Amino acid sequence: QVQLVESGGGLVQPGGSLRLSCVGTTDIFSTYGRGWYRQAPGKKRELVAFTAGSTANYGDSLEGRFTISTDNAKNAVYLQMNRLKPEDTAIYYCYCTYGGGTWGQGTQVTVSS
């Protein structure tokens, strides 16, 4: 069984940057598709970025500001978020395709002046 532990959320001003980290508790994490979703208040959970093998997919209008990366030696997946906007405010969840879908506990990102 794999558990996902996220970190890196917080409060940032518009235009700022944050880097989210997600570490899987076992090595098998690195053998599955991994990514990030987010859920804003009153909205459905939506794709932010997802990577499997050498491919990466991004949610609408996020590529160019957000970048997903992995470090298999650390069983980690990262999300670099630049030029953040207030509408990026949400809980960000790490996701892995292991076991039909495994989720982290979520980390709050708030973009506000």
Give the model confidence (pLDDT) of 42-94 as tens digits: 999 999 999 998 899 999 889 899 999 999 999 999 999 999 999 999 999 99
Average pLDDT, the chain: 95
Is residue 99 predicted with pLDDT exceeding 90?
no
- Residue identified by tokens 């470090």 is 71
- Cα–Cα distances in angstroms (integers) from residue 8 to residues 87, 91, 106, 107, in the given order: 18, 12, 10, 7
Query: In the prediction, which pLDDT does 29 show?
Result: 85
Assign 31 to helix, strand or coil.
helix
Angstrom distance (rounded) from CA 85 to CA 33: 27
